[in-house]
Amino acid sequence: CIENLSELEKLAVLGHGNGGTVYKVCHKKTSLVYALKVLRFNHNAIANRQQAAREAEILKLVDSPYIIRCHGVLDNGLMDEDSGGDLCFLMEYMEEGSLHDMLRARQRLPEQVIASVARRVLQGLEYLHGMQIVHRDIKPSNLLINGRGEVKIADFGVSDVVAGTCETCDSYMGTCAYMSPERFDPERWGRDGSDGFAGDVWSLGVVVLQCHMGRFPLIGPGQRPDWTTLMCVISFGERLDMPETASAEFQSFVSACLEKDWRKRATVAELLHHPFVDTSYCSSAEDLIDYVLHG
Ligand code: ATP
Ligand code: MG
């Protein structure tokens, strides 16, 4: 059990996100490698920090092969309960980075690879939803891949708490881009009676379509996903045209996720039985890591 930041050595910066930075770190005593996410809270955001700390307690209870393990929450020792400052999440390290990185390197992914990513995400959501946890931030940078070709979900709950701190920054817009119509515009689409579970399914649909098209699918190529554009397309946009090259199973899966009315949208349990994510179609973990490493 690691209790103090001084037990860790920083090895590299893995990336920056909404309100924080992720480092690759080594536990000096055991030489085990972890990812350390450092969330920065200023003094105006003490309530956010307290909420993040509370959510972190939930995070520690989550134990699933489809979800990034959180090994502990540490602070930098410079603050007391009421002050601002850093909150550090010690997480399982995922050697091959995120789906966002993979999309940057490969642009479009083969359907079998997309199917195996979708299946793992659905299995992760089945677990989280079973614990009454809504993720709220399913997007490519929160789907991570390890050296065994396993895909896992990262960053639930807490990212939602820090999101409001930076309404104009790119990674906050990144989060909005995957939001469901009922979250973006509850007046029009009706208060979400599914308590947000259906929103995670919508986000998965956007991710799956993005993997096939090689770009963010809801707006035109080169268009910036600002608030107004996203609002127009997510809340008022017509049904999306599916890529012609996609299989019938792919098209049916994405349409079931991207149903604008959350009442008619497929549930995680239904989607786990969809032929697109049938195990006979999905890449195995071995094939996935082979694809990540060699294309
Ligand atoms: P958000 O703050 O909305 O989650 P984000 O996902 O882009 O946005 P971070 O969660 O801070 O930002 O992550 C930044 C990057 O760090 C990710 O894109 C990923 O490449 C890397 N990363 C995050 N967690 C891990 C991890 N456990 N193992 C390896 N790399 C990670
Ligand atoms: Mg993240």
DSSP string, 210-265: HHHHTS-TTS-TT----HHHHHIIIIIPPPPPPPTTS-HHHHHHHHHHT-SSTTTS
Of all protein residues, the one whose alpha carbon is nearest to atom 5 of ligand 1 is 17
**What is the mean predicted confidence (pLDDT) over 214-242?**
86
**What is the mean predicted confidence (pLDDT) over 55-68?**
87
Confidence tier at 208 by pLDDT (50, 70, 90): very high
Share of residues in the chain with pLDDT > 90 (%): 58
Ligand 1 neighbours, Cβ below 6 Å, are: 14-18, 20, 22, 35, 37, 68, 91-94, 97-98, 100-101, 137, 141-142, 144, 154-155, 159, 171, 175
Does position 69 have pLDDT exceeding 50, yes or no?
yes
**What is the mean predicted confidence (pLDDT) over 42-55?**
70
Of all protein residues, the one whose alpha carbon is nearest to atom 12 of ligand 1 is 17
**What is the mean predicted confidence (pLDDT) over 173-182?**
84
Cβ partners under 8 Å of residue 219, min gap 6: 225, 229, 230, 233
Of all protein residues, the one whose alpha carbon is nearest to atom 11 of ligand 1 is 17
Confidence (pTM): 0.91
pLDDT at position 151, please? 98
Does position 171 have pLDDT exceeding 70, yes or no?
no
pLDDT at position 128, please? 92
Cβ-contact 160, 39 below 8 angstroms: no
Q: Which atom of ligand 1 lies closest to the CA of 20? A: 11
Degrees, nearest 5: CA angle 66-62-119 = 20
Confidence tier at 49 by pLDDT (50, 70, 90): confident
**What is the mean predicted confidence (pLDDT) over 197-222?**
94
Selection from 40-54, 55-69, 93-107 with the highest mean pLDDT: 93-107
Buried b (16+ CB within 10 A) or exposed e, 63-97: ebebbbbbbebbbeeeeeeeeebbbbbbbbbbebb
Does position 79 have pLDDT exceeding 80, yes or no?
no
Mean pLDDT, rounded, of the chain = 86
Up-side HSE of residue 111: CA atoms within 13 Å toward CB? Answer: 17
Choosing from 10, 41, 67, 141 the residue with most ligand 1 atoms within 8 A of its CB, the one to mutate for a pocket test is 141
What three-state secondary structure class fits 168? coil
Amino acid at residue number 182: E
